[in-house]
Each structure stands twice: as structure tokens, then as C-alpha cells.
Amino acid sequence: MHKSRSLWQSNLGFLMAAIGSAIGLGNIWRFSYMAHEHGGGAFLVPYLVALAVAGIPIILLEYGLGHREKGSSPMVFARLSPRFELLGWWMPVVAMFGIMLYYSVVIGWCVNYFFHSFTLAWGSDPQTFFFNDFLQLSSSPAEFGGFRLPILLATALVWFSCWFICYRDIRHGIEVAAKIFMPLLLLLTAVIVFWTLQLDGAWEGIRDNYLSADWHKINFLAADPEARAAAARVWVAAFGQIFFTLSLGFGIMIAYASYLPAKTNLARNALITAAVNCGYSVFAGLAVFGIVGFMAFSQGVTFDEAIVGGPQLAFVVYPQAISLLPDFNSLFGALFFLVLIIAGLTSGVSLVEAFTCALTDKFNWRRKKVVTALCLLGITGSLIFTSRAGLYLLDITDHFITNYGLVLGGLLQCLIIGWYVGPEKLRQHINKLGSKVPQIWNFFIRYLTPLVLLILLLVAIRGDLADNYEGYATIHLLLYGVGWLIFCLLIAYFFTRQPWLAARLKHKHRYG
């Protein structure tokens, strides 16, 4: 006999954990550079469309599935049909091996920068510091050039923290951590935003770049084919960002919802999770656009000259701004990186949990052993991203995993629920529990969402075939992008092939 499934202590605890998973580095570090690259405020349009068309429908789907079937994603999909188990494994495998291996390294950078804030270690040239002194970036993705010890140690610390939080059961581990970290995170973020708004030039930066929009960048019907292709890419990025930011297509929300008690207002929880997460991003964007505005003002340059696009935003632009602050520079810097660390950790544990939940469900292994083994495996896998080629590798992996891996997971989930199970069944399950999902959701899951996701996949493929992403060599894109996806597929296939302990697949808790 195995003991019954562990449960959240309270709905609030669940919400904090789910929001903790959703709010992560992606909300601050990824969202802002996406917004900047893709038309400033105009990016909010595809972003909100993606939220409505894919984000909310799929978060409802994942909550509904996890709750109704009471299982991790492999268990849920294997119960629907053995044919679907591969998809069930694909999602947590992508979470663990496709995302967490590099995600933990980026949190590790933040840990380093937290300490660097006290001495303003980046000096007068944060760009050189970041690339040459900190990352010691090699000249190509093929040249690993050894490990960066400070990054490796910090990454090990991140994995240790995840281990420490996940080791206990849901209620005493993840839920307790979420209840401590989430209020703290919101408080610290508010401090940073209001602090930033006091700075000279901050408001102008926000007004002219965040609240105003470059509409051309999102016009995918433009007459000029090049503009059209560029705009299409913006839309792909927006959908990728919505999946990433809401932690969808990983099986995380399925696992988290499987720990909910029988009577739970699922639809309300889904809306709250989505709204708080996206609201947080838009709010945190004020801090980023504000600080760049301040920098532009104090250096007498334009906003566009002050900002460096891409992932460097947090590690080059921010340090520069921190050094320029009139007072309390170190405190501000430490706060900023602490916010990133906390946001990242609560997401990291959810990535580990999705896979843990899958393994304990299928093999009935003890949770503690699984968590320990996974975290050891995790730090080993992360090593490659702590090498001197780390930034290249994580840039490529991130691009392929989010734009293909997650979107594909979302698409297949829609098709299976839409066409095999029938969305109406799931909708009725959700509706019995509290707030009602309108009938149009069925239409979204069956037609609209998968159609849009399919188009996006095709657009992404066409874009990647037309030019090499960020100009990387084809061989490197094949290796770290496509190869990474295939590697995930093989792992998922391996686990699918293992036999189930017969009793594990029977549904003992069904009330749907």
C-alpha cells in the first residue's frame, strides 16, 4: 500500500507555490529584454493576445487535468491512453533537462552579482567585466575552455537550495518556501520599482519607451516582406514568452494541481495565477525601463544608446546603472539581484518537482531519494553551462526549447484534450468546483489555440531555416538546439518504455 497523495495545506499555499513557479527570472530578465527588442510597449499587444489565446486556456487545461486525474503529467496522459504517455514524459523532461540545467546557472550568475554589488566589482566598464572577467566568454560555442569556478560554486548552491526545499513533502517543503518567499518577493520588487521611479529620467524612460509603442514591429501584415517576417518573429517570441512565463507545457501546473484537495475553485485559481504573473511582469518592467531612462539621463545619451539588448540587460545595463546611482548603490544592487534569486529559486523548485512527481508516480520510488538523485544529476548536467561557452549554449538551448519544446507540448495537449478526451468533460469537471469556464473554451482548445500554435511552429521553423539564429554556425545550432530537443525526446522515450507498477495506473480518486 502506498500512502495517499500529499496535499497542499491551504489553497493560498497552492496559489503562492503556483505563482512562485510562474514568477521567475523570465518575468524580469526575459520579459524586459523581449519587450525592448520587440517594440517596447507594442510588445504588450502580442503578449496579451498570447495570454488570451494560449495562456489562459492552457493553464485551465493543465489545472483541470492534474486535478481530475490526480497525477503527474506521465500518469495523467498514460491514464488517458498509453499512446499519450510519451507526451506526458516529454514535458517534465524538457523542464528538467531542457530548462533547469541552464536556468540554475543564470540564478548562479545572480548569486555572484549579489555579492559583486557590495563592492561594485564591475568597475567602470560592466560590459567588459561581464564578458571578459566574469564569464570569460570563449570565442565560439565549440570552445568550452574550462569551467568558471565562481559560477560553478554558485550553481551548486542553487541546486543545493532546490534540494533542500524539495526534499520534504509538498506541504513542508515547497509550500513553506513559497509562503516565505512570495510575500518577500512582492515587497522587495515594490521597493525597487518605487525607488527607481524617484530617479531622474526614470519616468521619461518609461513614458517614451514602455508606454509608447513601435507599432510597426508587430504588424505581420506589413507590405514589406522583411518587415512582415520580423513582425511574425515578434509574435512567435510573445507566445514563447507566455508559455515560459506561466510555466506551461512542462507538466508543472499538472503536478501542482494534482496535490489540490477535491473541492477547489480551479478556474479562479487559474485566473489569479495568470493575472498575478503577468501583472508582475508589467510592473517589474517599470523598474527596467525606468533604470535605463535614468542611465540615459545621467550619461546624456539616448535611451537606445543606454540599453544593451538581450540577456545582458540584467548583467550589464543594471550594474552600470547601479554604479551611477546617487546613493545606496550597493544596497540597491543587492536588492535587485536578491529579487532575481528569489524569483528564480521558487521557479527552480517547481521544475525539479515536475520531474520528481513523475518519477515517484511511475516507479513508486521514495521522494527523498528521487530528489537527491535529481539534484545530483542536475548539477552535473549544469556543468556544461558553467563553462566559458556557457552563454552561447544557454542562448541557443533557450531559443529552441521555448519556441519548439514548450509550444509543441501545449499544442499536443490541446489536440489530445480537444479531440480525444473532449474538452467538455474537463470543462464540466472544472465547473462543478466553483467559478465557471465559459463554453467558448471548448472552441479554443479544439480549434483556435492549436491552430495558432501550429502556425507559430511553422513560422518559427521558417525563420530558423531562413537565417541562423543570432548568426550562430549551423553545426552549433544543430548540436545545442535541435540536438538538445532530440536528447530530451530520447530520455522521455526511455521512461515511457519502462513498465508501470500495475496498481499505479488505476485511478483511485476519480470524482470527475
Binding site for ligand PHE (CB under 6 A): 21-22, 24-27, 95, 99, 244-245, 247, 250, 252, 347, 350-351
Distance of CA 162 to the CA centre of its chain: 16
Query: Which of 13, 20, 26, 41 contacts Na ion by CB under 5 A?
Result: 26
Distance CA(236)–CA(244), nearest Å, equals 12
Taking the complex as a whole, how short is the minimal distance between the CB of residue 25 and ligand PHE, in angstroms? 5
Query: Which of 21, 27, 264, 312 contacts Na ion by CB under 5 A?
Result: 27
Considering the complex, state which of residue 113 and residue 122 has its C-beta at the smaller distance from ligand PHE. Answer: 113
Considering the complex, state which of residue 25 and residue 488 has its C-beta at the smaller distance from ligand PHE. Answer: 25
Site for Na ion in 127-166 (CB under 5 A): none
Asked whether the beta carbons of 61 and 414 are under 8 A apart, the reply is yes
Residue pointed to by grid coordinates 472552441: 443
- Residue 21 binds to Na ion (criterion: CB under 5 A): no
Question: Helix/strand/coil (H, E, C) string of 140-193?
Answer: CCCCCCCECHHHHHHHHHHHHHHHHHHHCCCCCCHHHHHHHHHHHHHHHHHHHH
Partner from ligand PHE, Na ion, none contacting 404, C-beta within 5 to 8 A by type: none
Partner from Na ion, ligand PHE, none contacting 74, C-beta within 5 to 8 A by type: none
Taking the complex as a whole, how short is the minimal distance between the CB of residue 305 and ligand PHE, in angstroms? 28
DSSP-assigned letter for residue 93: H
Considering the complex, state which of residue 230 and residue 238 has its C-beta at the smaller distance from ligand PHE. Answer: 238
Q: What are phi and psi of 40, to 5 degrees?
A: 60, -130
Considering the complex, state which of residue 152 and residue 354 has its C-beta at the smaller distance from Na ion. Answer: 354
Partner from ligand PHE, Na ion, none contacting 21, C-beta within 5 to 8 A by type: ligand PHE
Considering the complex, state which of residue 8 and residue 29 has its C-beta at the smaller distance from Na ion. Answer: 29
Considering the complex, state which of residue 21 and residue 219 has its C-beta at the smaller distance from ligand PHE. Answer: 21
389-428 CB burial, b ≥16 within 10 A, e <16: bbbbbbbbbbbbbbbbbbbbbbbbbbbbbbeebebeebbe
Considering the complex, state which of residue 230 and residue 340 has its C-beta at the smaller distance from ligand PHE. Answer: 340
Distance of CA 182 to the CA centre of its chain: 16
DSSP-assigned letter for residue 2: P
Partner from ligand PHE, Na ion, none contacting 250, C-beta within 5 to 8 A by type: ligand PHE
Q: Quote the crossing angle between the two packed helices 174-197 and 266-299, to the nearest 10°.
A: 40
Taking the complex as a whole, how short is the minimal distance between the CB of residue 93 and ligand PHE, in angstroms? 13
Amino acid letter for position 499: P
Partner from Na ion, ligand PHE, none contacting 51, C-beta within 5 to 8 A by type: none
| Residue whose Cβ sits closest to Na ion | 245
Partner from ligand PHE, Na ion, none contacting 389, C-beta within 5 to 8 A by type: none
Asked whether the beta carbons of 267 and 436 are under 8 A apart, the reply is yes
Taking the complex as a whole, how short is the minimal distance between the CB of residue 502 and ligand PHE, in angstroms? 31
Distance CA(5)–CA(258), nearest Å, equals 8
Residues 6+ apart with CB under 8 A from 29: 106, 311, 313, 314, 340
Taking the complex as a whole, how short is the minimal distance between the CB of residue 127 and ligand PHE, in angstroms? 24
Query: Which of 15, 16, 17, 22 contacts Na ion by CB under 5 A?
Result: 22
Site for Na ion in 235-264 (CB under 5 A): 245
Considering the complex, state which of residue 18 and residue 393 has its C-beta at the smaller distance from ligand PHE. Answer: 18
Considering the complex, state which of residue 26 and residue 410 has its C-beta at the smaller distance from ligand PHE. Answer: 26
Distance CA(68)–CA(180), nearest Å, equals 29
Taking the complex as a whole, how short is the minimal distance between the CB of residue 193 and Na ion, in angstroms? 17
Partner from ligand PHE, Na ion, none contacting 351, C-beta within 5 to 8 A by type: ligand PHE
310-348 CB burial, b ≥16 within 10 A, e <16: ebbbbbbbbbbbbbebeeebbebbbbbbbbbbbbbbbbb
Closest listed residue to residue 175, CA positions, set 384, 402, 349: 349
Q: Sign (positive/negative) of CA torsion 464, 465, 466, 467?
A: positive
DSSP-assigned letter for residue 40: B
Strands, DSSP E only, in 349-423?
A: none
Residue pointed to by grid coordinates 532575481: 340
Asked whether the beta carbons of 64 and 57 are under 8 A apart, the reply is no
| Measured CA distances, 466 to 61, 235, 312, 396 (Å) | 34, 17, 26, 16
Taking the complex as a whole, how short is the minimal distance between the CB of residue 491 and Na ion, in angstroms? 25
Taking the complex as a whole, how short is the minimal distance between the CB of residue 237 and ligand PHE, in angstroms? 14
Taking the complex as a whole, how short is the minimal distance between the CB of residue 23 and Na ion, in angstroms? 5
Taking the complex as a whole, how short is the minimal distance between the CB of residue 295 and Na ion, in angstroms? 25
Considering the complex, state which of residue 322 and residue 340 has its C-beta at the smaller distance from ligand PHE. Answer: 340
Question: 40 forms bridges with which residues in the sheet?
Answer: 213
Partner from Na ion, ligand PHE, none contacting 59, C-beta within 5 to 8 A by type: none
Considering the complex, state which of residue 51 and residue 291 has its C-beta at the smaller distance from Na ion. Answer: 51
Considering the complex, state which of residue 31 and residue 337 has its C-beta at the smaller distance from Na ion. Answer: 31
Taking the complex as a whole, how short is the minimal distance between the CB of residue 99 and ligand PHE, in angstroms? 5
Amino acid letter for position 261: P
Binding site for Na ion (CB under 5 A): 22, 26-27, 245, 277
